[in-house]
Amino acid sequence: MAFADPSSGTKPESPPVTAREEQPGKVILVGAGPGDPGLLTLRAVERIRAADVLVYDRLIHDGVLALARPSAEKIYMGKEPGHHARQDEIHALLVEKARLGKMVVRLKGGDPFLFGRGGEEVEYLAEHGIPFEVIPGVSSCLSAPLSAGIAVTHRESSSSVVIVTGHSADGSEDRVDWEAVARIGTAVFLMGVHNIEAIVRNLLVAGRSPSTPAAMIQMAYCESERVVADTLENIAAEVRRANIEPPATLVVGEVVRLRERLQQLVALHAPQKEGEV
């Protein structure tokens, strides 16, 4: 350590500052919603536009990425369904970029803290002294049913809703209390396309009625949105017959009947074209 010489009146030389010792930037976890850029929050748009670096997941809409400055660095770190090995890489990348003084936006589909591993990421950032912020997003557990005309709660049908990951329904690391889920009025399953048969089987074994209405919504709020509806005992076969692929959201419960009811009402009150009777 250098000390000033009182007799000389000079100040000690400061040691050179390395990149690691510079004031770190910040990492902002942003929920990008179900896909449509129009469903981003105002704060999410502000942060995306101000970002130096965007680290984004699979299924982030091109329109969302287009909100960033042309000079922003865009890094794709998407993971295919069932493959999570890149999470350690993502952790390291966020810290690396923040330590360069960058404002880093971590774009995640839906909401960062709902099956998005956002909790793990902010924990890692905190452990490494990186400032962070979390901006919520519109989750598909609510937006996908809404897009299909299904209210997850309804005064006459359901006063409770449970949100479940479909990833582990096949028995691998399954921590779901299926008997508890089967008793809830509305059950919403995310990431459950590949395990739809196991989900149905578990619900039926746990006591859910085979005639319970169910619907699978694919690509909510996109032009390619598709909805398949049937009874619980038949929904898996219908999903396979329709070649439904992720991302898709499964809704199980009496509230699914509202979709048909709304369609009937809309058709009943739709203005007639000239010449129609």
Q: What is the mean pLDDT of each run of 10 residues along the chain (277 residues)?
A: 44 41 84 94 98 94 96 91 75 97 97 95 97 97 95 93 86 83 97 96 98 97 94 98 96 94 85 57
Catalytic residue among 74, 79, 170, 230: 79
CATH fold for the domain made of 23-138: Cobalt-precorrin-4 Transmethylase; domain 1 (3.40.1010)
The beta strands (E) that lie in the chain are given as 26-31, 53-56, 73-76, 103-108, 132-135, 161-165, 186-190, 213-218, 226-231, 248-252
Q: Which residues pair with 226 in a beta bridge?
A: 218
Domain ranges of the chain: 23-138, 141-262
d(Cα 34, Cα 32) in Å, to the nearest integer?
7
Beta bridge partner(s), residue 106: 29, 55
What pLDDT is stored for residue 7 in this prediction?
Answer: 46
Note if the bond before 247 is cis, omega within 30 degrees: yes
- Other C-beta atoms lying within 10 Å of the C-beta of residue 108: 27
Predicted confidence at residue 167, as pLDDT, reads: 81
Does 141-262 carry CATH code 3.40.50.2000? no
- Evaluate if pTM is beyond 0.95: no
* Tokens found for residue 189: 């399953």
The two three-digit tokens of residue 4, written as one number: 């000033």
pLDDT at residue 12, as a whole number: 40
Q: Is 170 a catalytic residue?
A: no
Q: Is 5 a catalytic residue?
A: no
Q: Which of 36, 52, 57, 111 is an active site residue? A: 57
Residue 173's pLDDT is 63
pLDDT at 79: 74
